[in-house]
């Protein structure tokens, strides 16, 4: 029997993650959400089971954190681990094309329209939102978020905790340091240092993040 899934967070992205899961799995495989701010049920009628701190009462389930901000996601993963959670699930939309040479860490979600080609490594708790394109030999660190239609050319390396904006494009062979934020539709054509916030085409430094 498949381990039932609980999604942590109940916002829009979490509900899209539940939808992606249910397209390829029976309704009984999804138990509901944990969220510190919402109660009752979502607009779709899916149940909110309690706060994040109630995770320990669901030890039979596997968990996916569907909170887009990398720093918040890391903090929630630490909370869950301290409460005894050790079983992480994954969500992959059924239309996603992933080559057998792609390695995924625990707790990842990949939504509809994404394509991952060959020899790619994803760290733990990564989110690839709708329509992302990841080319050959890319390495993406843990807790990264790729927003809709982000595009990584071949041999790109992305450090832990990065958020890559919608329609952002990263040039082949480029390295993006940990903790970076790449803005909406920016074009990254050279290496990016740790904790940088980049915007524009070509991308330029706007400011620095709090260190990852």
The answer to whether 34 touches 56, Cβ cutoff 8 Å, is no
Model confidence pLDDT, tens digit, residues 91-150: 999 999 888 999 999 999 999 999 999 999 999 999 999 999 999 999 999 999 999 999
Mean pLDDT, each 10-residue run in order, the chain (212 residues): 90 98 95 96 97 94 98 98 94 93 97 97 98 98 98 98 98 98 97 98 96 96
- State whether residue 18 is helix, strand or coil: helix
> CB within 8 A of 110, min separation 6: which ones?
91, 92, 93, 96, 98, 104, 116, 128, 132
- Residue 179, both tokens: 């903790």
Q: What is the pLDDT of residue 128?
A: 98
CA atoms within a 13 Å half-sphere pointing along the CA-CB vector of 59: 4
- Residue 190, both tokens: 């050279």
Q: What is the pLDDT of residue 97?
A: 84
Report the mean per-residue pLDDT for the chain. 96
- Residue 134, both tokens: 């990841």
3-state percent helix, strand, coil for the chain, nearest multiple of 5: 15, 30, 55
Q: What is the pLDDT of residue 112?
A: 97
**Same domain assignment for residues 97 and 73:** no
**Same domain assignment for residues 168 and 106:** yes
- 181-182 and 91-92 as β-strands: parallel, antiparallel, unpaired? unpaired
Residue found under tokens 């979490």: 14
Rg of the chain (C-alpha set): 17
Q: What is the pLDDT of residue 1?
A: 45
- State whether residue 140 is helix, strand or coil: strand
Q: What is the pLDDT of residue 167?
A: 98
- State whether residue 28 is helix, strand or coil: helix
**Same domain assignment for residues 70 and 50:** yes
**Same domain assignment for residues 125 and 180:** yes
Q: Which of 36, 68, 89 is the last residue of a domain?
A: 89
The answer to whether 160 touches 123, Cβ cutoff 8 Å, is yes
Q: What is the pLDDT of residue 2?
A: 79
Q: What is the pLDDT of residue 43?
A: 96
**Same domain assignment for residues 191 and 109:** yes
Residue 162 lies in domain: 92-199
Q: Which of 89, 107, 132 is the last residue of a domain?
A: 89
Q: What is the pLDDT of residue 191?
A: 98
**Same domain assignment for residues 37 and 56:** yes
Q: What is the pLDDT of residue 98?
A: 86
Total domains, the chain:
2
Q: What are the CA-CA distances from residue 44 to residues 10, 11, 63 (Å)?
A: 11, 12, 20
Give the whole-angstrom CA distance, residue 113 versus residue 159.
24
Longest CA pairwise span in the chain (Å)? 50
Q: What is the pLDDT of residue 59?
A: 84
């Amino acid at each position: 029997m498949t381990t039932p899934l609980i999604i942590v967070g109940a916002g829009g992205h979490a509900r899209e993650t539940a939808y992606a899961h249910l397209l390829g799995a029976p309704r009984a495989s999804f138990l509901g959400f944990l969220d510190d701010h919402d109660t009752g049920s979502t607009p779709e009628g899916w149940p909110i089971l309690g706060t994040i701190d109630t995770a320990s009462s669901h030890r039979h389930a596997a968990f996916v954190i569907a909170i887009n901000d990398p720093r918040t996601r890391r903090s929630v993963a630490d909370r869950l681990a301290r409460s005894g959670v050790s079983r992480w699930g994954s969500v992959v939309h059924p239309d996603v094309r992933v080559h057998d040479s792609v390695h995924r860490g625990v707790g990842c979600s990949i939504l509809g329209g994404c394509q991952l080609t060959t020899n790619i490594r994803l760290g733990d708790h990564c989110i690839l939102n709708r329509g992302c394109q990841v080319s050959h030999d890319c390495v993406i660190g843990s807790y990264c978020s790729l927003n809709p239609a982000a595009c990584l050319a071949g041999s790109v390396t992305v450090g832990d905790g990065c958020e890559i904006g919608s329609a952002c494009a990263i040039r082949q062979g480029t390295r993006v340091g940990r903790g970076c934020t790449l803005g909406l539709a920016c074009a990254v054509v050279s290496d990016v240092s740790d904790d940088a916030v980049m915007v524009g085409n070509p991308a330029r430094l706007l400011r620095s993040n709090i260190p990852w």
